[in-house]
Amino acid sequence: MGADGCQGCQRVPRVPEYHAHTRALLALLALLALLAPVAPVAPVLLYSFAVKRLRVGVLYGGRSGEHEVSLASAAAVFANLDRARYEPVPIRIEKDGRWALADRAPTAVSAAEVIEQSRLEAARPSRGGREIHFMARPSEETILSIDRRPSHAEEGQAVVTGLNLDVIFPVLHGPYGEDGTIQGLLELANVPYVGAGVLASAVGMDKGVMKVLFKAAALPVCPYQVIFRHDWQRARDPLAADLERLLGYPMFVKPANLGSSVGISKAKTRADLLEAMDLAGAFDRKIVIEAAVPEAREIECAVLGNDAPQASVPGEVVPSREFYDYEAKYIDDGSKIFVPAEIGPRTSADIQRLSIAAFKAIDCAGMARVDFLLSADTIYVNEVNTIPRFTTISMYSKLWAASGVEYPVLLDRLLALALERHAEKQQLRTSLT
């Protein structure tokens, strides 16, 4: 097993013990710091020998169309988790939904690179690795690895090991990862995890419901309609005429619950609209149609925190194509990111304020990237991404780096926020008696 793998799966202290341990150690380190001129390496040595590292299960891959994008994000997390303090355990969710303890952590840094790699690997047999099984109930051993390899077990037997993870970092984009389903599983198991909970994850994945909550929080959203595929298929022309009357061309037609611009089209004519609705309907039973924001500039802002979230400086994406579609996001090299965005200080402050308001409107936690469409001086909140792309060159990390939070520190904060939120939840009363 490589350096990133599960090494022996030993027992380590659970989170509260870890904190107590760390507190005692910090006191000792402070004492040693006084002696540092005498023995400058002592604190470092002591740290590496005495601190039990936090075991972080990094969940990546997944059943969504954004599987490859997740691999690129996870590679960055593995590369930047401080090994003196964290022991990352790579848990890969295959496209068919199987969970496996990966022999090697992913390494490719860009989504384009991973997509190319998977194309080349498609013909090869699927890779090995130990199966991971998840117990959806609180216990000491919620995450188990089952090793059925003959070299590790007598024939017909399997070796079952508890992974003893202290926290889970879901680096999964799109459905079955970013949409509350995995988060629900982690809640059932009572395991701390990074990022938004069930509700915010589900809302952040549903462009229709998200807009309802934005409007309720008095946030500016562009004119839109929601049509269910079931209704569309029964009344295409009358509904198309309604959309023309209510929104006018051009319109953006989107499956409600996807990401990465999959299934999204810009419709400029009735013929386009019919095609775009059918395409979106092939991806989702719910379709969101929006009036196109004219000359839209795409401004994005990163948010970090739980109950008192903070916003980064805003950035701007300039897509290489007519809009920021799948190719412009992952295939073309032409799209450009500007950090910070060249917008005036007032617009920038408005974007930051709206980002925090949008984060709170969906009851988000940990992290989110809030995306805006800016037309002249009018700002529209487009969407909240609860697990934004997360490579070191992705917008989310660049925005924090430009705001003084480097990537490894960002990881520290996210893990601390996960533990904080989980600890807070344990304090809640669960009965009246």
Ligand X SMILES: Nc1ncnc2c1ncn2[C@@H]1O[C@H](COP(=O)(O)OP(=O)(O)O)[C@@H](O)[C@H]1O
Contacting positions for ligand X (CB under 6 A): 222, 252, 254, 259-261, 264, 290, 292-293, 296, 298, 319, 323-324, 371, 373, 382-383
Residue nearest to ligand X (CB): 324
Residue 167 vs 373, nearer CB to ligand X:
373
Tell me the closest approach of the beta carbon of residue 340 to ligand X, in angstroms. 19
Tell me the closest approach of the beta carbon of residue 270 to ligand X, in angstroms. 19
Report the helix count and the strand count for the chain, using DSSP H and E: 14, 17
Residue 191 vs 256, nearer CB to ligand X:
256
What separation in angstroms does the CA of 222 have from each of 212, 309, 341? 12, 25, 21
Residue 67 near residue 74, CB atoms below 8 Å: no
Residue 100 vs 387, nearer CB to ligand X:
387
Tell me the closest approach of the beta carbon of residue 429 to ligand X, in angstroms. 38
In angstroms, the CA 92 to CA 61 distance is 6
Beta bridge pairs of residue 159 = 147
DSSP 3-state of 333: coil
Q: Strand locations in 99-163, DSSP E? A: 99-101, 130-134, 143-147, 159-162
Residue 134 vs 252, nearer CB to ligand X:
252
Pairing of strands 167-171, 159-162: unpaired
Structure letter (DSSP) for residue 328 = I
The string over 65-85, giving b where at least 16 C-beta atoms fall within 10 Å of a residue's C-beta and e elsewhere, is bbbbbbbbbbbbbbbbbeeeb
Tell me the closest approach of the beta carbon of residue 262 to ligand X, in angstroms. 6
DSSP 3-state of 285: coil
Residue 92 vs 173, nearer CB to ligand X:
173
In angstroms, the CA 330 to CA 140 distance is 40
Residue 200 vs 417, nearer CB to ligand X:
200
Tell me the closest approach of the beta carbon of residue 177 to ligand X, in angstroms. 14
Tell me the closest approach of the beta carbon of residue 246 to ligand X, in angstroms. 14
Provide DSSP, 377-415. Answer: TEEEEEEEESS---STTSHHHHHHHHTT--HHHHHHHHH
What separation in angstroms does the CA of 236 have from each of 40, 251, 262, 264, 279? 75, 16, 22, 18, 13
Provide DSSP, 167-206. Answer: EEEEE--STTTTSSHHHHHHHHHT--BSS--HHHHHHHH-
Tell me the closest approach of the beta carbon of residue 49 to ligand X, in angstroms. 46
Residue 112 vs 416, nearer CB to ligand X:
112
Residue 81 vs 368, nearer CB to ligand X:
368
Tell me the closest approach of the beta carbon of residue 224 to ligand X, in angstroms. 8
Of 92, 161, 157, nearest to 126 by C-alpha is 92
Tell me the closest approach of the beta carbon of residue 282 to ligand X, in angstroms. 15
Residue 32 vs 339, nearer CB to ligand X:
339
The sign one gets for the Cα dihedral 394, 399, 400, 406 is positive
